[in-house]
Structure 1
Amino acid sequence: MLGYLSSRQAGLDDPLRLRRAESTRRVLSLQLNPDRDVDRIHGNGINSIDIDVAEGRYMLSGGADGVIVIYDLENFTGKPQYTCKAVCTVGRSSRYVHKFSVETVQWYPYDTGMFVSSSFDKTMKIWDTETLKPAEVFEFETNVYSHHLSPIAQKHSLIAVGSKDPKIQLCDMKSGSKIHVLQGHRAEVLSVRWSPRYEYILASASADSKVKVWDVRRAAGSVLTLDQHKGDKSKGASEAANTAHNGRVNGLCFTGDGLHLLTTGTDDRMRLWNSATGENTLVNYGKVCNESRKRLQFCVSRGCSPEFVFVPCGSSVAMYALHTGELVTMLRGHYNNVDCCEFHPNYQELYSGGKDCNILAWVPVLRPPQEEEETDNGWSCSFKK
């Protein structure tokens, strides 16, 4: 790290390289922080968390108790030890609260004045943050597993919705109506994600073992159906043709640049795909325990070199190198299964929520540069000039 600093000072290196090195150093030193707590509000498991991208200050959580909580992550105490306070809650006493488990929560990508939640009560609600009242309510015929707003869309305001119905619904925030249906899956759609690179590209994961990529401007169906066998029928894979996993596919995550797509399934496997061609990159992550029957929320680091993947694995969060599949570390601290985790790119922090009703903060532990050169996992050598 000292080599990067001296080269930057002398004008021999660009600031982006220094920033990536420091981001990587921070991610590799993530530990459960004893000085930081998050208010325990939920009375049941936490299914989904989201950090706003506009300010990077507020975090949403949605739980199996139907409750939605907004936390302030900023520390204004001037002391290292503090608690991330719940600034407002949509609790059981609210007339607008979801009747059953909240499966997904997400901030509106451009400001914190609005957020969206979806639930097993067959509704998706668009909330006004100031009043904590729904500005719009979309009703469906079946339980809603997942929804997602595009983080980059300029020409549309669509929310993709995955439910127990095999059809993917596209809801327009501006008109307040369901405007389109994407058909192709044969079982419930457990997860949907918009591409962070192309605003009309959507990925979906289903219990039919398939992952499809859609261009929502086309009515002819999906653009790609990911195939774990690359179309090779010689391995006795005829029955598994065009399947991404050998079980329910319940997790989707694009890399920050949108060039790759990660999927997880109940076959205890995680796969990395080229999002443009649908090609399986064949990165071997080993066994990635996945017992969830619903959507599993996992995430990828941002601004690192190389990038890392954080995946709930039982009561721990497994951290893998994205492109090599190497298991870097296991983050242990929860008392029960972890269902969701979210990476904070501004500070290289990780937040995870689980069935123990806790949200844990994993924060970089900064050490003197001379101590960074030798660590147990061998990754620190990438910092040396």
Structure 2
Amino acid sequence: MLSFLEERRNGCKKPELLVRAEVTRRAFCLELSKGRDVQRIHQSGINTLDIDPTEGKYLLSGGSMGVIAVFDIETVPAAKEVTCEAVCTVGRSNKHVHKRSVETVQWYPHDTGMFTSSSTDCLLKVWDTNALVPAETFTMDKPIYCHDMSPIATKHCLIGVASQSSHISLCDLKTGSPTHILKGHRAAVMCVKWSPKQEFLLASGSQDNKLMLWDIRKAKGCLMALDQHNGEAVGHSSTAVRTAHSGHVNGLCFTEDGLRLLSYGTDDRLRLWDVVTGKNTLVNFGKVTNDGRKNVKLAVSSGAVPDAAFVPNTADVAVFDVQNGELVYDLKGHYSNVNCCTFHPLFQEVYSGGNDSNILLWEPDEGRVVDRGEEKQVKQKKGRTFYGQTMTATEDTWSSDEDG
């Protein structure tokens, strides 16, 4: 990095290259925060997290008992140790609380004055953050697994809703009612995700093992069903054709440029797709354990080259190089299964939530020395080398106050 800074000072490197290099280093050098933590509010598993995209100051969380909390995660530079405290909560005593498990929470993309939540009680609620009351409620026919709003849409205000129904519902914030449904799946839809670059493009994953791309402007809607075998028949089995996974598809995440789509299946596989061609890129991520009982929230870094993917893997968060599928290291800290993680694009931090009721903060290790001259990742017995720095993923690396 010192040589890079010297080259930048001499005008040999462009400013954006230095920014990209530092963002990449930070995204791939995470550790459990030593001085910051998040107040424990939930008494049950945490299913979903979301950081507000406008200020990057507030964190939303939703739990399996219906509780929703908003945390102030703004860093206090002068403080060595700080707890990110809850600003407000929708607790069990609140008359507007969800009666069952909250599966997804999401900030309105353009304003922290509003957020949405959906639950297995069949309700999708649009909340006024200041008053902490629902401004609108959509009632679905079946329990909801997931919902998503487009981060860039200017010509529509639609929320895609995935539920135990085989149809995807589109709810309009402007009219306060469902507009239409997308038909194509043959089993419950477990996840939906809008493209970060094309406001009319929606991806969906289902228990029929299919991953479909939709253009909501078209009458038929479905653009294509992605095929893990890229159109090639496997043996005498016709069922494998046009399925994205050999199990339920319960996790989706676009890369920042919108050109790639990462899917997660109960066949314990991650797959990376070319959104333009619909082809499986055949990047091998290896086996990643996925129990498949609910929608899983994975995350992809912003501004790093290559992209880093953060994927719940039992009680760990697995960090992958999206470009080549290498497992860089595991983030260990939870005591039970991890259900969700979200990436903070301003500070290259990751927040994760799991069944242990904890929200953990993973931040860049500022003391880690990175040698850019050694960019080859080397497999080792207990870890991997990334840009010349070995990152072990064993319990031996733990240290605590109790141990002195």
TM above 0.5, yes or no, is yes
How many angstroms apart in 2 are the aligned matches of 1:235 and 1:365? 49
1:154 counterpart residue number: 154
Which of the numbers 382, 386, 391 marks the counterpart of 1:379? 386
Match of 1:197 in 2: 197
1:65-88 CA distance string (max 9 Å, x none): 100000000133721210011000
Alpha-carbon distance change, 8 to 112 in structure 1, aligned in 2, over 3 angstroms: same
Secondary structure of the 1:6 match is helix
**Aligned-pair CA distance for 1:220:** 1.3
Give the 3 Å change call, closer, same or farther, for CA 169–368 of structure 1 in structure 2: closer
**1:175 maps to which residue?**
175
* Residue 187 (structure 2) aligns with: 187
Residue type of the alignment partner of 1:280: N
String of CA shifts for 1:298-336, please: whole Å, max 9, x gaps: 011111111111100000000111010111001000000
1:237-283 CA distance string (max 9 Å, x none): 41211000011110000000000001010000000000111100000
Shift of 1:369: 4.6
Match of 1:361 in 2: 361
CA contact (8 A) 1:190 1:207 kept: yes
Letter in 1 for 2:115: F
TM-score with structure 1 setting the length: 0.96
Partner-residue secondary structure (3-state), 2:276:
coil
Alignment partner of 1:223: what SS? strand
- Give the Cα–Cα distance (whole angstroms) in 1 for the partners of residues 138 and 370 of structure 2: 56
What one-letter code is carried by the residue in structure 1 that aligns with 2:48?
S
Distance 1:21 1:13 in 2: 11
Which residue identity does 2:134 align to in structure 1?
P
In 2, are the aligned partners of 1:192 and 1:205 still within 8 Å (CA)? yes
Residue 75 (structure 1) aligns with: 75
Determine the C-alpha separation between the residues in 2 that align with 1:369 and 1:312: 27
Equivalent-residue separation in structure 2 for 1:356 and 1:239 (angstroms)? 38
Counterpart in the other structure of 1:293: 293
Structure 1 position 236, deviation (Å): 3.4
Pair 1:272-2:272 in alignment = yes
Query: 5+ residue gaps in structure 2?
Result: 378-382, 390-404
| Aligned residues between the structures | 382
Structure 1 residue 293, shift from structure 2 partner: 1.3
Matched, 1:118 2:125: no
**1:139 is matched by which residue type in structure 2?**
T
Residues 1:309 and 2:309 are matched in the alignment: yes
2:13 aligned with 1:13: yes
Structure-2 separation of matches of 1:72 and 1:42: 16
> Given that residues 51 and 60 in structure 2 are in contact (C-alpha distance below 8 angstroms), is that contact kept between their aligned partners in structure 1?
yes
The answer to whether the 8 Å contact 1:229/1:237 transfers is no
Q: Find the aligned partners of 2:273 and 2:234 in 1 and give their Cα distance.
A: 21
CA distance in 2, matches of 1:146, 1:127: 17
State the match for 1:138 in structure 2: 138
Distance in structure 2 (CA, Å) of the matches to 1:19 and 1:216: 37
Aligned 8 A contact 2:101 2:120 in 1: yes
Q: Is contact 1:228-1:245 (8 Å) kept?
A: yes
The Cα shift of 1:371 comes to 7.4
Q: C-alpha separation between the residues in 2 aligned to 1:317 and 1:354?
A: 10
Letter of the 1:94 counterpart: N
Q: CA deviation at 1:381?
A: 4.8
SS in 1 for 2:20: helix
Quick one: distance in 2 between partners of 1:320 and 1:89? 33
**TM-score with structure 2 setting the length:** 0.92
Secondary structure (helix, strand or coil) at the match of 1:377 reads: strand
Q: What is the match of residue 219 of structure 2?
A: 219
Cα separation, 1, equivalents of 2:34 and 2:118: 32
Following TM superposition, by how much is the alpha carbon of 1:370 offset from its aligned partner in structure 2, in angstroms?
7.1
| Rounded Cα–Cα distance in structure 1 between residues aligned with 2:370 and 2:338 | 35
Q: Which residue of structure 2 lines up, in the alignment, with residue 238 of structure 1?
A: 238
Q: Does 1:328 align with 2:328?
A: yes
Question: What do you get for the CA RMSD once the two structures are aligned?
Answer: 1.6
Q: Could you tell me how far apart the structure 1 residues matched to 2:313 and 2:132 are?
A: 33
Counterpart in the other structure of 1:91: 91
Q: For 2:28 and 2:191, how far apart are their aligned partners in 1?
A: 29
Separation (CA, whole Å) in 1 of partners of 2:370 and 2:270? 36
Q: Distance in 2 between matches of 1:341 and 1:230?
A: 30
- Report the alpha carbon displacement of residue 345 of structure 1 after superposing the two structures with TM: 0.8
Q: In the alignment, what sits opposite 1:103? A: 103
* 1:36 equivalenced with 2:43 (yes/no): no
Range moving further from structure 2, 352-361 or 371-380: 371-380
Select between 282-291 and 363-372 the one with higher mean Cα deviation: 363-372
Counterpart-to-counterpart distance in 2, 1:63 and 1:234? 41
Partner of 1:21: helix, strand, or coil? helix
Seq. identity, %: 53
Write the distance in 2 (CA, Å) between the matches of 1:195 and 1:270.
18
